[in-house]
Structure 1
């Protein structure tokens, strides 16, 4: 007989009779799974309250050769198809690998591009398929190791944006790799400057701006990056209005690949917590890029980013920057990042187009 049971009522041997989703797109546990104690621990870890099960215990009279040892909790989690847990685990491993490589660059070695490519490309491919995870990249980062997180995240965002724009897979992965290596030249900047917990002086900032030239010099001999990707690394801090660096290039002299890296770079930087600056909401940052930074970035690239991380829908629960939680009731076609929200606390509907001081902070499951 199939019944619903709370997690506390479950016991080993019961059959699961429905796919279980733990705030994830894909099931964390499949229908007809025979529950072990470790499975039950995983359900608890994901906050699952009750599940549909078959009210009988599987008999254990099968031959020993056909029995399989129960998986521990980590093994169960690792078998969840492209779950947030697994993706974050692989992301953190890539950040750790990048940090190790960065220490070699500081010691004077040139980047081992094949090695970087080996741990980055699989991650890029996963994030391209799991686009909803992109808005969570800023939550993965931490201020103490920002420079390593930033490089990996820029590569991921650059690959996702170019994929959204319809580029071929080869271009997409090339640009993702270029994004990861764009700041390798930071290894040549004094650690005292990079690890400073206050805003940089003008002299210190001028020193940091040299990193694009250092980066290009460090990767110029590798055959694994095309010349247009090396140019993108050089130009990823250039701006269409000529306000960027290192050359103050303008408009058509800045390649589209450079623009994709530029948008990925500034988006992650502004949404991440730094030692000297709080992070902004991803939705607020897209607004800032579109409005306050208007004229500096290719609008097609910004719109692609908007479609990737700002794709809101009616009925979605969101948290606002003032701490309120509410449900999206209406989305303005010309201003999708500022919908009408019904607050859960008092039922009042506010229109974010009329409340510019408040923005969506994040989606709440």
Structure 2
């Protein structure tokens, strides 16, 4: 391991120490291979030196270099493999074949998870997924990815990371036993219809509880991922301390992906608006500690993103206020807009 100036870095070198931002969160992990976007980030944030592995630079560039194109292809391939496997299992379960072997998807899911957690920029990873598929399938894979990343940020071990990914993938599998007409209804559900839909968590648990290839921790996450800290959730009205930890992790991932994805009856909201929703929910429903870790780590990657404001102006996120994560400082032309001071303006959309 040796310290090296940013100017001497070449693409493909590997970090030998974690890099932290001023929020105290890891922004790049040990083992990350340097890409062009990382060099840009270092220059803009006054990071002048990093530690790299002491191996021959020519070998490093040849054997470890990952271009953005390769990263896109690798991630899309891994995502597509999991999606295909999950769809096949989804239809098996829909036809009430509950005795499948979950190991058929575990290998591909581990490969996707390992690709994902090598870079903390989960939103950037989700943005470069080019596969177009039904929301009910992509939501499952997205929640698997988000749940795995949350576990990494919580510094949990690899076993828990993989368990969370599997929990996220199967969390809504009970919807296979819900009326498809209800599931794909384009209007908002009536109260009695919503009560029927809420049965999906029980249906999922009941469908898989006798399958020996599904861990009990995953079954608990499937059953309880809609429980809320204040007891307002379902199916059992559990409070935070009663709800299994994996279920609380999946709950945060589920809510975030649901509100930032287009649905039949509702357009998605921006990641910044989702911040506000997650923050509000953490006061009454979602686990506040898990939500805070999730939001603070996500926030680090909004810096340098171009955004469109609610007044039509476009600008660049230049600073995240750790006391108001969803209301950053925006540079618009030659002026600065501090959203933590001006609540009349919102971020409507992340452009890039």
The TM-score, its normalising length taken from structure 1, stands at 0.72
* 2:207 maps to 1:218: yes
Native 8 Å contact 2:78 2:108 kept in 1:
no
* Closer, same or farther: CA 159–283 of 1 in aligned 2, 3 Å: same
* 2:346 maps to 1:358: yes
2:95 corresponds, among 107, 127, 130, to 107
Number of residue pairs matched by the alignment = 293
Structure 2, unaligned runs of 5 or more: 1-9, 13-32, 37-65
SS of structure 1 residue aligned to 2:121: helix
Aligned partners of 1:299 and 1:102: how far apart in 2? 32
Aligned partners of 1:159 and 1:324: how far apart in 2? 35
Higher RCO (CA 8 Å, separation ≥ 6 residues): 2
Residue 128 of structure 1 is matched in structure 2 by 117
* 2:142 maps to 1:153: yes
**Aligned-residue RMSD, C-alpha:** 2.9
SS of structure 2 residue aligned to 1:291: helix
Aligned partners of 2:84 and 2:174: how far apart in 1? 18
* Closer, same or farther: CA 317–227 of 1 in aligned 2, 3 Å: closer
2:234 corresponds, among 239, 245, 258, to 245
Aligned partners of 1:319 and 1:205: how far apart in 2? 35
Residue 233 of structure 1 is matched in structure 2 by 222
SS of structure 1 residue aligned to 2:97: coil
Per the TM alignment, residue 121 of structure 1 is displaced from its structure 2 partner at its CA by: 1.8
* Closer, same or farther: CA 144–196 of 1 in aligned 2, 3 Å: farther
* Closer, same or farther: CA 265–117 of 1 in aligned 2, 3 Å: same
Residue 40 of structure 1 is matched in structure 2 by none
SS of structure 2 residue aligned to 1:310: helix
- Structure number with greater Rg is 1
2:184 corresponds, among 191, 195, 218, to 195
Native 8 Å contact 2:140 2:171 kept in 1:
yes
How do 1:275-354 and structure 2 match up within 5 A? 275-291=264-280, 294-312=283-301, 316-322=304-310, 324-344=313-333, 347-353=334-340, 354=342
Native 8 Å contact 2:11 2:34 kept in 1:
no
Native 8 Å contact 1:263 1:302 kept in 2:
yes
Q: Which moved more, 1:318-327 or 1:332-341?
A: 318-327
Per the TM alignment, residue 320 of structure 1 is displaced from its structure 2 partner at its CA by: 2.5
Per the TM alignment, residue 234 of structure 1 is displaced from its structure 2 partner at its CA by: 0.8
- Give runs of ≥4 in structure 1 deviating > 6 Å: 78-81, 141-144
* Closer, same or farther: CA 271–321 of 1 in aligned 2, 3 Å: farther
Per the TM alignment, residue 274 of structure 1 is displaced from its structure 2 partner at its CA by: 0.6
